[in-house]
Amino acid sequence: MIFKTVQILWHEREPIFSCDFHSSGRLATCGGDNDVKIWWCQHATATATATPTPDADGDSNGDAVPFRFLASLSRHLKAVNVVRFSPNGQWLASGSDDANVLLWQRVESAGAQACQPPPPPPAAAVGGVAGAAADGGESWQLVHTLRGHLSDVYDIAWRADSGALCSGSTDNAVFVWDMARTSSGSKAATTKIEAHRLEGHTHFVQGVAWDPRGVFLCSAASDRTVRVYRRRTGGSDWHCSHVIAKLDAPRSMAIGLGKAVRLFADETININSFFRRLSWTPDGSLLLVPAGIAAVPAAAAAVASSAPPPHQHQQQQQQQQLHCVYVFARNALHRPLMRLAAAPKPFVCVRANPLCFEPRPGADRAGRWLQLAYRMVIAAATTDSVLLYETDSGGAPIALVKHAHYAELTDLAWSADGRQLVVSSKDGYCSLLTFDADELGRPSPLVL
């Protein structure tokens, strides 16, 4: 694993609130400058290699800037909090403090195919900061403005077939936007969008996630609940099937002291963090929810926070609240299947690698989260760290990157080949984690 903070002016030193990869290797970012920017990552395609591209001096030592600026999308009136590409690659959705969700499409040049990589840059722009200057040479157009929210839009998620998206806002509501074709063809003018407002939360909705199998739509809010919605059988109406908030927790899960406890933190835990970006694993078997809290023995809390352990006579009585990610199985959403190892800072985002991998040789089957024929890799971001987990290793992290940024982390994005992970931060920079071929394992077929 190679870690690098990319030293370019991503958003004119303004905070970066979100990032997302396209299957072609394009990366979208957004932030406090009210813009969405499109970049090209030279290694983030399904056929990419980890061989560094030579920089302007012909040096291939890996110091070349791995991103090239392509376009700036400037139609939002306030800070942009989230960007998400549709699974089919046709759309880019962005949500802002101006309460709007905008849908963008790339303007294809004559003879160009959708989702193809951009043409090679001019020689002067290869590997240098010059690649982030002026016009990137790619055109994007605004095709839809989705109005309905009354306040800041914090998160967006697409349905797996790209036929609908959902958004969460500080107006306490989730909107579902159904995109129905009204005529043949693929142009935006033939698309009719219907809005459905889902209510129930009593405070800001800070994360939304759509089940890859298209059944469940989940939202996480600062009212300390996760709501699970689904369509009524044979109809278009939505209803809430689960509200996840409290649990009568057994001591064995180390969630509490055997009484009903809150699973999720309130907004006062970290006033600077306003994201609870939950997600599903690519096979749809597990729901991963950040912003969890857990009461753990003081000795374990000291290890997680690198603090001196308590005296032995205090260990049996002391409990300390730490932060965690809760894991729910799709067939038992009423209670956590397990929690990932606790951390001293709140978790704000969790994203699963888009690929599944073969089980590691000799792995203990007892440590698997579910008895699956494959293994999945999970990235979770606290406000100051990125932790990697895999479903064969229990709840303990397999890797940790800590204190790489000067401000809170905000989002994570995996590339389509599963070998690049981008981390965005309020300090105005993004970092890139790159994995060698087979470092995470050999890919295995995905089963839905």
Instruction: Give the pLDDT confidence score for residue 77 in this predicted structure.
Output: 96
Which structure tokens are listed for 353? 């690698």
Per-range mean pLDDT, top range of 128-137, 180-189, 316-325: 316-325
235-282 pLDDT, tens digit per residue, is 778 999 999 998 865 544 544 445 678 999 988 776 667 899 999 999
What region, left, alpha or beta, does residue 271 occupy, with left being phi > 0 and alpha being psi -120 to 50 degrees? Answer: alpha
Instruction: Give the pLDDT confidence score for residue 137 in this predicted structure.
Output: 80
Q: Which residues contact 318 (CB under 8 A, 6 or more apart)?
A: 297, 298, 310
Model confidence at 327: pLDDT above 60: yes
Instruction: Give the pLDDT confidence score for residue 261 in this predicted structure.
Output: 85
Classify strands 279-280 and 260-262 as parallel, antiparallel or unpaired: unpaired
Confidence band for 48, pLDDT divided at 50, 70 and 90: very low
Model confidence at 186: pLDDT above 80: no
From CA 429, how far away is CA 179, in angstroms rounded? 34
How far lies 37's CA from each of 29, 34, 136, 237, in Å?
5, 10, 10, 36
From CA 381, how far away is CA 351, in angstroms rounded? 9
Instruction: Give the pLDDT confidence score for residue 84 in this predicted structure.
Output: 98
Confidence band for 385, pLDDT divided at 50, 70 and 90: very high
Q: What is the mean pLDDT of the chain?
A: 84
Model confidence at 198: pLDDT above 50: yes
From CA 312, how far away is CA 315, in angstroms rounded? 5
Instruction: Give the pLDDT confidence score for residue 135 in this predicted structure.
Output: 59
Model confidence at 322: pLDDT above 70: yes
Mean pLDDT check: name the lowest of 54-68, 129-143, 168-182.
54-68
Confidence band for 433, pLDDT divided at 50, 70 and 90: very high
Confidence band for 416, pLDDT divided at 50, 70 and 90: very high
194 or 120, which is more confident: 194
Model confidence at 402: pLDDT above 80: yes
320 or 328, which is more confident: 328
120-159 pLDDT, tens digit per residue, is 655 444 333 333 334 568 999 999 999 999 999 999 999 9
From CA 219, how far away is CA 207, in angstroms rounded? 6
Model confidence at 337: pLDDT above 90: yes
Per-range mean pLDDT, top range of 124-128, 178-182, 371-375: 371-375
Confidence band for 50, pLDDT divided at 50, 70 and 90: very low
From CA 98, how far away is CA 77, in angstroms rounded? 6
From CA 170, how far away is CA 96, in angstroms rounded? 11
Instruction: Give the pLDDT confidence score for residue 369 in this predicted structure.
Output: 76
**Rounded to two decimals, what is the model's pTM?**
0.86
Report the percentage of the chain scoring pLDDT > 90: 62
Model confidence at 341: pLDDT above 90: no
Across the range 176-180, mean pLDDT stands at: 90
Across the range 204-217, mean pLDDT stands at: 96
Instruction: Give the pLDDT confidence score for residue 320 in this predicted structure.
Output: 79
From CA 403, how far away is CA 243, in angstroms rounded? 34
Confidence band for 57, pLDDT divided at 50, 70 and 90: very low
